[in-house]
A and B are shown apart, each in its own frame.
Chain A
Amino acid sequence: MQQKDYASQIHRCFRCGYCKFPTDYSSFNCPSYRRFRFDSYSTGGRLWLVYAWLKGEIEWSEHLAEILYACTTCKNCAEQCPMRFAPDIVDWIVGARSDMVEKGKIQPRVARFFEAVYSYGNPFKQLRSDRAAWANGTKNYAPGDEYLLYVGCLGSYDENGQKMARSLIDILNASTVSFGILGKEEDCCGNEIYMLGETGLFQNLVEKNCKKFKELGVKKIVTLSPHAYNTMKNNYPTFGGNFEVYHYTKILSDLIKKNKIKPSRAKAKITYQDPCFLGRYNNIYDEPREILQSIPGIELVEMERNRRDAFCCGGGSGNFVTDLLAGSMDSPARVRVREAYETGANTLAVACPSCLTMLTDAAKAEDLDDKLAIKDISQILKELLPAR
Chain B
Amino acid sequence: MSDVYEALQKIVGEDYVSNRAEERYFYGRDPGLMPPHEPDYVVMPKTTEEVQEIIKLANREKVPVTPKGGGLALTGLVIPLKGGIVMDMKRMDMILEVNEKSRYVIVEAGVTHGALKSYLQKHHFHLRHSIPDSPPIATIVANAVIHGQGRLTQQRGFNSDMVSGLEVVLGTGEICRIGSCALSSQWFSKGPPLPDLSGLFLGWFGSTGVITKLGMKLYPCKKIREVMLFLTDKVDLVPEIIRKLTHTEMVEDIVVAAQPIPPRFEGIVSILLFITGDSEEEIEFKRRMAWEALMVYFESRDGGFVSVTPNMKPALLAMPSKDTAKFADVSKGGGFEYSGPIAPIDKYPAYLEKLEELALKYKLIYASATRVIDGGHSMMFSFSYTFNRANPDEMKRAKVALDEAAEFALEEDGVIWKPNINEQQMVMERMDQNTLILMKKVKQLLDPNGIMNPGNWEVK
Residues from chain A with Cβ under 8 Å of B49 in the complex: none
Across the interface, do B334 and A61 meet the contact criterion of CB distance under 8 Å?
A: no
Q: Is the CB of B135 within 8 A of A40?
A: no
Q: Does A21 contact B (CB under 8 A)?
A: yes
Q: Name the contact of A11 in the complex, choosing from B25, B70, B390 (C-beta under 8 A).
A: B390
| A38 in contact with B135 given A16-B72, A21-B114, A25-B112 (CB within 8 Å) | no
Structural contact, B137 and A67, CB atoms closer than 8 A? no
Given known A-B contacts A63-B22, A82-B325, A39 and B71 have beta carbons under 8 A apart: yes
Residues B25 and A49 in contact, CB atoms below 8 Å apart: yes
| A36 interfacial contact with B, CB 8 Å | yes
**What residues of chain B lie closer than 8 Å to A61, measured between beta carbons?**
20-22
Are the C-beta atoms of B119 and A26 separated by less than 8 Å? yes
B117 interface contact, C-beta 8 A: yes
For window 69-95 of chain B, which residues contact chain A by CB distance below 8 Å? 70-72, 88, 90-91
Q: Does A52 contact B (CB under 8 A)?
A: yes
B141 on the interface (CB 8 Å rule)? no
- Taking the closest CB of chain A, its distance from the CB of B79, in whole angstroms, is 14
A82 and B333 contacting across the interface, CB-CB below 8 Å: no
Which of A12, A18, A59, A64 is close to B136, meaning CB atoms less than 8 Å apart?
A18
CB distance from B28 to the nearest CB of A (A): 10
Contact A40–B72 (Cβ < 8 Å):
no
Contact of B122 among A8, A26, A49 (CB under 8 A): A26
Contacts of A45 in B (CB 8 A): 26
Residue pair A21, B136 in contact (C-beta under 8 Å): yes
Per-residue contact bits, chain B 167-211, to A (CB 8 Å; 1 contact, 0 not): 000000000000000000000000000000000000000000000
- The number of chain B residues with a CB under 8 A from chain A is 45
Is B23 an interface residue when CB atoms closer than 8 A count as contact? yes
When each residue 1-29 of chain B gets 1 if its CB lies under 8 Å from chain A and 0 otherwise, what string results? 00000000000000110101111011100
Q: Are A15 and B329 in contact (CB under 8 A)?
A: no
CA gap between A40 and B23 in the complex, in Å: 6
Measured in the bound complex, the distance between the Cα atoms of B333 and A51 in whole Å is 13
Nearest CB to that of B68 among chain A residues? Answer: A39
Most interface-central of A15, A37, A59, A64 (chain B CB within 10 A)? A15
> How far apart are A69's CB and chain B's nearest CB, in angstroms?
13
- B31 an interface residue at 8 Å Cβ cutoff? yes
Contacting residues, chain B, for A24 (C-beta < 8 A): 118, 121
Known: A24-B121, A82-B322. A17 touches B25 (CB 8 A): no
Say yes or no: is B326 at the interface (Cβ < 8 Å to chain A). Answer: yes
Residues in A whose Cβ lies below 8 Å from that of B126: none
Say yes or no: is B335 at the interface (Cβ < 8 Å to chain A).
yes
B124 at the interface (CB under 8 A from A): no
Q: Which residue in B22, B113, B135, B329 is a CB contact (below 8 Å) of A18?
A: B135
Residues of A within 8 A of B (CB): 8-9, 11-18, 20-21, 24-27, 36-40, 45, 48-49, 51-52, 57-59, 61, 63-64, 67, 82-85, 328
| Chain B contact residues, CB within 8 Å of chain A | 15-16, 18, 20-23, 25-27, 31, 42, 44, 70-72, 88, 90-91, 112-115, 117-119, 121-122, 135-137, 322-323, 325-326, 328-329, 332-336, 388-390
Extra contacts, 5 of them, besides A40-B22, A82-B322 (Cβ < 8 A), are: A13-B334, A18-B137, A24-B121, A38-B44, A49-B22
